[in-house]
Structure 1
Amino acid sequence: MTDSGPVRAFWQDLGLPGLFDVHVHFLPPNIQAKVWAQFDQAGPKIGRDWPIRYRGSHEERVEQLRSFGVRRFSALPYAHRPGVATYLNDWAAGFAADVPESLWSATFYPEPEAPSYVAAGIEAGVEVFKVHVQVGEFHLDDPELDKVWGILEDAGTPIVTHAGSGPVGNEFTGPGALARVLERFPRLAVVVAHMGAPEYAEFLDLAERHERVRLDTTMIFTDFFDQEAPYPSELVPRLVDLQPKVLLGSDFPTIPYPYAHQLEGLERLGLGEDWLRAVCWHNGVELFG
């Protein structure tokens, strides 16, 4: 299964050098297997059948992205409990060293060691962090993270943040905690994963109010997400003015449809080729270089 032709035709028709995907996952094999098992079982944090289209080894999946023409992509490990972040970060550092297209990715968790290893990661060259409050079951405004947010605000390092209540919400999800964090750390470079689904309007408001808050398109505007959490049509025009702050994300490999379907969903919005070029390439380059 290559699925490459439609993807390459998409960016070639736009005159782009390729795609910049800010929401791709690579995890240590033992953890990757456990994550996929949750999806296979439609576990409590998944909530629905979710067949994974792009399985295979790390090497096979990297080659798949290269065949698509995805020139830059993240790895986005995310800590699900205390004590695991440094293990994930060490593994992700090795992945970034081996895969030159990959953004050097890392994660953190509300724990006493977090300020130290976050600062060390930034100093070493980490380009993006990922946190997932639905899986990790922590509040973004946990006092244990105060020093971490200060370090990240000063460094300007982006944080891809899954804070929306999709696919299954819990007491830790929703826009409230991120809004409170941004009141105290307004210069944080946050990328809201999945455009904040299903609290689209609230997270869109945060992106409009805060200079360095962005949204990624991950799985939004696809038939799969439209079944349960369609993006409200009345919000789409606001994405025109927000063009510089919208970034392509896919959730590869953990998607149940061809990679090209995400791109087709963006094209169906009818926001124009300049908008697509910005979202699928230029905005990522502007943020990450």
Structure 2
Amino acid sequence: MTRSPPEAASTLSGGPSGAPHAAPDDDVPAPCLASAPSWRELGIRLPMPALADEEGPRVAPGLPPVVDAHVHLFPDRVFEAVWRWFDQHGWPIRYKLHTPDVLSFLLSRGVERVVALHYAHKPGMARALNAYVAQVAKDEPRVIGLATVFPGEPGATDILAEAFALGLKGVKLHCHVQCFAPDAPALQELYEVCAQAGKPLVMHAGREPASPRYPCDPYALCSAERVERVLKDHPKLKLCVPHLGADEFDAYARLLERHDTLWLDTTMTVGGYFPVPLPRQVLEVRPERILYGTDFPNIPYAWDRELKALVDLRPGGDALAGMLGGNALKLYGEVGC
């Protein structure tokens, strides 16, 4: 178990809290991670509709540097297959842009850096996808490219080592698409490779957003308890869970309190698209561990919807600058920690 640093005292209420939060003592057992009703129990189901909200022309002047820590980049044919699936089973994609246009769109609107994520839908894809993103990052230095691998495929650790040699800065895995539990045996060697290389792992390990058309049931695979097992078993692994851990927000807030190697990103959770309350607790408990992310271009609403919503929360002190970009740059080693 790790303890939280004093600099975690920023809040979303307009200023410092006056004292750092306290992590539990080592001899105190972890609190129960069960919390609010699940999205399934609340009747929230995919597919969901698009929104016709207005988009802004660019990042608002005067904001700290913005880094979108959750942008998807794929080769054209893979992108088009992803869009067909989302149009039928997820939500209508508003921005059907291929990689060059994704980058032009965001960078021309004032987003300063993007973290490029992709994932292999089946064994045998990862090497080609990694080479593709590595070349994109080489051609555009404002891209922080991540690798992927299909857990359990032959030579998985070699695939990651090759990807890191290409300059990729971390790894993206997706429990829903790749059909694995976070604590599955096939993941253990991948966690060790990432930990030894000091490369962060972004893993969609929350239960939501979940489609009944996924090849496996995310609720059977994913839970905050499983993620905590990973954090305990691999104490040097830097792990980022997207979507603020949806839908177990309270449980992930408690995990942030207990583990100094956990980060969360805000993707699709602060803009009010899903009909659930804003998970303020998970944003407030350790704002230095929260990254702004969007899922662009695979979103059903305006590109800056979540950016404006996050800014409107008025995080105090240095919290906004960290959430919008500084935390991501630190995580990926782009600035001094």
What TM-score does the superposition give when structure 2 sets the normalisation length? 0.76
Which residue of the partner structure matches residue 218 of structure 1?
267
Say whether residues 1:263 and 2:307 are aligned partners.
yes
Which residue of the partner structure matches residue 83 of structure 2?
36
Say whether residues 1:23 and 2:64 are aligned partners.
no
* Matching residue within 224, 237, 244 for 2:288: 244
> Deviation at 1:3?
4.2
Do the aligned partners of 1:240 and 1:275 also contact (CA within 8 Å) in 2?
Answer: no
Say whether residues 1:147 and 2:181 are aligned partners.
no
Alignment length (residue pairs): 272
* Matching residue within 141, 160, 164 for 2:202: 160
- In 2, the alpha carbon distance for the partners of 1:80 and 1:177 equals 22
Do the aligned partners of 1:110 and 1:142 also contact (CA within 8 Å) in 2?
Answer: no
- In 2, the alpha carbon distance for the partners of 1:243 and 1:162 equals 20
- In 2, the alpha carbon distance for the partners of 1:30 and 1:131 equals 20
* Matching residue within 163, 178, 185 for 2:234: 185
Q: CA RMSD in A?
A: 1.9
- In 2, the alpha carbon distance for the partners of 1:241 and 1:204 equals 7
Which residue of the partner structure matches residue 157 of structure 2?
115
Structural mapping, 1:48-197, within 5 Å: 50-111=91-152, 112-168=154-210, 169-197=218-246
Deviations 1:112-144 (A, max 9, x none): 311111122223321121111011111222222
> Deviation at 1:80?
1.9
What TM-score does the superposition give when structure 1 sets the normalisation length? 0.87
Do the aligned partners of 2:107 and 2:113 also contact (CA within 8 Å) in 1?
Answer: no
In 2 relative to 1, CA 206–276 (structure 1 residues): closer, same or farther, beyond 3 Å? same
Q: Please identify which structure carries the higher helix content.
A: 1
> Deviation at 1:59?
1.9
Structure number with larger C-alpha Rg: 2
In 2 relative to 1, CA 116–69 (structure 1 residues): closer, same or farther, beyond 3 Å? same
Moved more, 95-104 or 242-251: 95-104
Read off the aligned partner of 1:189 and give its amino acid letter: K
Do the aligned partners of 1:166 and 1:197 also contact (CA within 8 Å) in 2?
Answer: yes
Runs of at least 5 residues in structure 1 that lack an aligned partner in the other structure: none
- In 1, the alpha carbon distance for the partners of 2:250 and 2:284 equals 15
* Structure 1 residue ranges, 4+ long, deviating more than 3 angstroms after superposition: 229-233
- What SS does the aligned partner of 2:320 have? helix
- Higher relative CO (Cα under 8 Å, sequence separation at least 6) belongs to 2
> Deviation at 1:57?
2.9
> Deviation at 1:271?
2.6
Which residue of the partner structure matches residue 287 of structure 1?
331
> Deviation at 1:267?
2.5
Read off the aligned partner of 1:60 and give its amino acid letter: D
In 2 relative to 1, CA 34–230 (structure 1 residues): closer, same or farther, beyond 3 Å? farther
- In 2, the alpha carbon distance for the partners of 1:195 and 1:148 equals 23
Runs of at least 5 residues in structure 2 that lack an aligned partner in the other structure: 1-53, 211-217
Share of identical aligned residues, percent?
A: 36
Which residue of the partner structure matches residue 17 of structure 2?
none
- In 2, the alpha carbon distance for the partners of 1:101 and 1:263 equals 19
In 2 relative to 1, CA 263–143 (structure 1 residues): closer, same or farther, beyond 3 Å? same
Deviations 1:90-110 (A, max 9, x none): 222222222221112111122
> Deviation at 1:69?
1.2
- In 1, the alpha carbon distance for the partners of 2:136 and 2:238 equals 23
- What SS does the aligned partner of 2:301 have? coil
- What SS does the aligned partner of 2:322 have? helix
> Deviation at 1:241?
4.3
> Deviation at 1:84?
1.8
Do the aligned partners of 1:96 and 1:105 also contact (CA within 8 Å) in 2?
Answer: no
Read off the aligned partner of 1:269 and give its amino acid letter: L
